[in-house]
Amino acid sequence: TIAAPELAIAVLPTHRNRQIGQRLLKALIDEARGHYPAIMLNVRENNPAAHLYQRVGFITVGKMTNRA
């Protein structure tokens, strides 16, 4: 089994729409690329940040249902 670190990020509502989340996410991805062969993202369909993840290059490869 390979250990996979998990990370959550958030931007305060008063600081959204300033590309802070996009810059933070790109920096984290760049750093992770030097240490891990792949990066996986789980996000709910109704999460407002889903479009951000698509903008930085994540693609949908499957959908999970019945998540609590």
Domain boundaries, the chain: 1-68
Whole-prediction pTM value?
A: 0.75
Residue 1 has pLDDT above 60, yes or no: no
How much is the pLDDT for 21?
92
21-68: pLDDT as tens digits = 999 999 999 999 888 888 988 888 888 888 899 999 999 998 877 756
> Alpha helices of the chain — where are they, by DSSP H?
20-33, 50-55
Q: Say yes or no to pLDDT of 11 above 90.
A: yes
- Placement of tokens 């729409």 in the chain: 17
Average pLDDT over residues 15-19: 93
Neighbours of 25 (CB within 10 A): 20
Q: Please report the pLDDT score of residue 36 as a whole number.
A: 86
CB 37 within 8 A of CB 28: no
